[in-house]
Amino acid sequence: MKSGFKLEKVIFKMREGDKSGSLNECAIGGKWVDKNTDDFFKGKRVVLFSLPGAFTPTCSSQQLPGFENNFDRFKKLGIDEVYCCSVNDAYVMNAWAYKMGIKNIKLIPDGNGSFSKQMGMLISKDHNGFGRRSWRYMSVITDGIVEKWWEEPGINNDGSDDDPYGETAPEKCLEYLAGSE
C-alpha cells in the first residue's frame, strides 16, 4: 500500500443496539446497520489498524489495548478517530470490545474480508482453521486517502505461524504524528 491510495467504497455490516446482561449471555435485540467507508473516513483524519482476529493472543494482549491506552495521545495529535478492523463478524467484534472494556477505539467488522482485500492485506490462515484474515497493518488516513502506511514484515500465505508485531505498534504511529505537526 502506498501513500496517496484513495479508499474505494466498501459496505460494512454493523450491529447496533444488541444488549446482554453479562459476559455469559449472547448480545441480542439490536439491528443490522450498513455503514461504508465514507461513514468512517470522509472528512476525518484517522488511525486505522487491522489485525488477524478478535480474541487472539497478540491482538488482545498488546495491540488493541495499546491503542486504547494511547487514545488521548492520538487525539492530542489531531486524530479524530482510531479504528480497529478485523475479518470478523459484527457480533464477534462487539463481544470482543465488551469483553476487553474498550471505550474509545471503534471496532469495524470486515466479516467478508472485502475491505482487507481492497487494502491488499487479505491472507489465508486456513492452516490455523481461521480461513481468510487480515495481515497486521496500520495507517493514517486523511479524508479517505492513505497518508502513511505500516505493515508487519513477511506477509504469509504459506501456512507458517509467524505473527510479527512491532511495526504496527501504536508508538510507531505516535512518533510519526508528533513529527508531522
Q: Is the dihedral of CA 76, 81, 86, 88 positive or negative?
A: positive
For residues 145 and 6, the answer to whether their CB atoms sit within 8 Å is: yes
pLDDT of residue 64: 97
Q: Which fold has domain 11-15+31-162+172-179?
A: Glutaredoxin (3.40.30)
Q: Is the dihedral of CA 84, 57, 115, 27 positive or negative?
A: negative
For residues 88 and 122, the answer to whether their CB atoms sit within 8 Å is: no
Dig out the grid coordinates for 39 from the structure: 461513514
CA distance 106 to 89: 14
- % the chain with pLDDT above 70: 96
Radius of gyration, alpha carbons of the chain: 16
pLDDT of residue 33: 97
Residue 19 phi/psi, 5° resolution?
-130, 150
Contacts by 64-71, CB closer than 8 A, 24 or more apart: 64/96, 64/100, 64/102, 64/105, 65/100, 66/169, 66/170, 66/171, 67/105, 67/170, 68/100, 68/102, 68/103, 68/104, 68/105, 70/170, 70/171, 70/174, 71/104, 71/105
Sorted by where each begins, the domain ranges of the chain are: 11-15+31-162+172-179
**Annotation says 59 is catalytic:** yes
Burial grade of 16 (CB within 10 A; 0-12, 13-18, 19 or more): exposed
Dig out the grid coordinates for 19 from the structure: 444488549
pLDDT of residue 73: 98
pLDDT of residue 162: 73
**What DSSP character marks residue 9?**
P
pLDDT of residue 119: 95
Tell me which of 26, 59, 84, 173 is the catalytic residue: 59
pLDDT of residue 22: 77
Which regions in the chain score pLDDT beneath 70?
A: 1, 156-161, 181
Dig out the grid coordinates for 127 from the structure: 492452516
pLDDT of residue 126: 80
